[in-house]
Chain A
């Protein structure tokens, strides 16, 4: 359960996988993302719940992504996500544009073992128009009430970073409850953590309320500051200077290659 190395923990994430990751503010496994790029992973169908920032931009820029299913990719205060933008303009990735609650609902459908979930909104939008996999029906309990149905989304692997895990593989996620939905919906869940908690997270009712049971977890690697340069809620903030440097370098393919050489291929402590 607790892997001997990061690479060992990441072994279940193969080329061509549907990989789901959480938004920046919930715990992005950035050390693991850099390790995947070093391994040269390919053809990911990347799903972001519901948005992404540096993590998606890095994977896209490094050529690891074929299909992107997302509500938005942006560096937030640090500007547009440059490699995402360039890849879409060049037609280098297949886009499945969504909206935030649609991605939540599609994973919740899988969590419940049902084939679809209905969602309000969407009607008359071009988001819906470009999603042939989404259907509109007339609410069978209503009277001329069109509503959108979204198919269940079942990721091969989910990857995130969390504050701690115990030796039984239980993972503390706090109030980042969408991480639990992700794990419930995925075939396999891979987690990196700041540290190992001595004891059983499920025995303490205060901790258990914010714990993903090890039952759902495939592999865990200990990676202190594993979300760097992105934040880990209640632990550390974003590395603003680094994000500024990234935004500047990634504006061009040459600069992005320099970034990879400096921060990804050369393993470097945060």
Chain B
């Protein structure tokens, strides 16, 4: 298999100019990284070793993480997960149209999926529809996509919301596109396992129906997380700092994963990885 990142002329990597953090612990390992790279690394660890990771619409960082998970597993001969990136021609195996993802998930053949929300509350409810009353909303989001189904039937749903604020992480969502938890008699083989934001990582405790702070990202503080979260959450006495991505992870991200991401998310790949893909027919 040709690794697109290693083919000259496919892309040019220039070090990011935005806010960066130091990675690694020894001076030889010191390298700067971007927020998006840290988040992809965090999500990659949450994915774990599974058979099938699917990524839906408008999810460039989860797509980056899923590709990283496969390439990292590939590198260490762990057996790589199947990937289904919605909108990709290269990174999908579906031949039955866009319904195949849902049919697959209905039989628990999708292990990991990603969802977000204009609002997310402390019980893991997500809102992809509107703020204010449904009939007279103050704000309108695109819509629920597949969330009102996939949230119930994918065992590991990772919630991802870059903007961590009291506007997005609210006490109670205005519209439940999909609930975080269901009564015992409702068929539910899946649900949330974690929430990743630009400031921290929360784990979701399904028994308690609450989030628990797992780690705070480098450059952010516990006080800042508390100030910017609209819902109550649990936390350990000592909150760890999210580990920085390793040099190997950063190399994989920038040289192997980034050009793959550019197929589906060209704007994102240009902004984050400075990847410029040549115009190519049929990559959609």
**For chain A, which range describes its interface: under 10, 10 to 19, 20 to 34, or 35 or more residues?**
35 or more
**B149: nearest residue on chain A (CB-CB)?**
A121
A231 interfacial by beta-carbon distance below 8 Å: yes
Q: Determine whether the beta carbon of A125 is less than 8 Å from that of B177.
A: yes
9-residue interface stretch from A5-13, A32-40, A73-81, A257-265: A73-81
In the assembled complex, which residues on chain A have CB atoms less than 8 Å from the CB atom of B177? 99, 125-127
In the bound complex, what is the Cα–Cα distance between A26 and B98 (angstroms)? 8
Task: Among B128, B145, B182, point to the contact of A124 (Cβ < 8 A).
Answer: B182
Give the number of A-B contacts (CB < 8 Å).
Answer: 172
In the bound complex, what is the Cα–Cα distance between A178 and B178 (angstroms)? 24
Task: Among A72, A101, A147, point to the contact of B102 (Cβ < 8 A).
Answer: A101
Interface of A is mostly: mixed
What is the 8 Å Cβ interface bit string for chain B, positions 139-161, against chain A (1 contact, 0 not)?
Answer: 11111111111111100000000
A177 interfacial by beta-carbon distance below 8 Å: yes
**B263: nearest residue on chain A (CB-CB)?**
A237
In the bound complex, what is the Cα–Cα distance between A84 and B143 (angstroms)? 11
**For chain B, which range describes its interface: under 10, 10 to 19, 20 to 34, or 35 or more residues?**
35 or more
Task: Among A127, A130, A178, point to the contact of B98 (Cβ < 8 A).
Answer: A178
A3 interfacial by beta-carbon distance below 8 Å: no
Q: Determine whether the beta carbon of B266 is less than 8 Å from that of A240.
A: yes
Q: Determine whether the beta carbon of B281 is less than 8 Å from that of A236.
A: yes
In the assembled complex, which residues on chain A have CB atoms less than 8 Å from the CB atom of B179? 124-125
**B277: nearest residue on chain A (CB-CB)?**
A237
**B106: nearest residue on chain A (CB-CB)?**
A120
Interface of B is mostly: loop
In the assembled complex, which residues on chain B have CB atoms less than 8 Å from the CB atom of A181? 97, 99
- Residues in A171-207 with C-beta less than 8 Å from chain B: 175-181
In the bound complex, what is the Cα–Cα distance between A127 and B129 (angstroms)? 9
Mark B residues whose CB is within 8 Å of A: 57-58, 60, 86-87, 89, 94-100, 102, 106, 128-130, 134-153, 175-179, 182-183, 185-187, 265-268, 279-284
In the complex, 27 of the A-B residue pairs with CB atoms within 8 angstroms, ordered by the A residue number, are A23-B98, A25-B87, A73-B143, A74-B142, A78-B267, A85-B140, A89-B140, A91-B136, A98-B143, A100-B149, A101-B146, A102-B148, A104-B98, A104-B102, A120-B106, A121-B149, A121-B151, A122-B149, A123-B152, A125-B176, A125-B178, A126-B134, A127-B144, A177-B96, A177-B97, A231-B284, A236-B282
- A72-B143, A77-B60, A145-B185 are known; give 10 further A-B pairs, CB within 8 A: A51-B142, A88-B137, A99-B147, A101-B102, A123-B182, A124-B186, A127-B148, A177-B99, A179-B97, A240-B267
